[in-house]
Amino acid sequence: MREIKFRAWDGKKMILLHLDDWTFFNGELCHRNAPKYPVMQYTGLHDKNGKEIYEGDICKHNEEDDAISFVVFSCGCWRFNSWMPRSMKVFDLKEKIQVIGNIHENPDLL
């Protein structure tokens, strides 16, 4: 069974969003507690340390190099951002990657 979770950046901190609080407004699905905030979905995967991986998370790919990128949903799956030489799927590297931050709290890592 797939776990569906969301979080949002409120400008100061990440907040978890409960599924019960989603509603339709003007034809769009939105969250009652975070209508103006960027919302990020949980990928259903964990990094090598057991940390949950969310859309927008910045990840280090392995111990051998300093390659980092952030998680996006593209072409029907979770991938690393497109500036990578090859847009890799998060699932393919989940045992090697480490979440080191996210694009909202740690933009300086990019």
Q: In the predicted model, is pLDDT for residue 81 greater than 70? A: yes
Which residues have CB under 8 Å from 69's CB, separation 6+?
58, 59, 61, 80, 81, 83, 84
Give the 3-state secondary structure of residue 72.
Answer: strand
Q: What is the pLDDT of residue 102?
A: 96
Q: What is the pLDDT of residue 87?
A: 59
Mean pLDDT of 8-14: 88
The least confident of 1-15, 26-40, 54-68, 75-89 is 75-89
Percent of the chain at pLDDT above 70?
Answer: 85
- Rounded to the nearest angstrom, the gap between the alpha carbon of residue 84 and the centroid of all alpha carbons in its chain is 17
Mean pLDDT of 53-70: 85
Instruction: Let me know: does 60 contact 96? Beta carbons within 8 Å.
Output: no
Q: What is the set of domains in the chain, with CATH numbers? A: 6-109 (2.30.30.290)
Give the 3-state secondary structure of residue 53.
Answer: strand
- Rounded to the nearest angstrom, the gap between the alpha carbon of residue 30 and the centroid of all alpha carbons in its chain is 18
DSSP H helices, the chain, are 90-93
pTM recorded for the entire structure: 0.82
Q: In the predicted model, is pLDDT for residue 17 greater than 90? A: no
Instruction: Let me know: does 10 contact 57? Beta carbons within 8 Å.
Output: no
Average pLDDT, the chain: 82
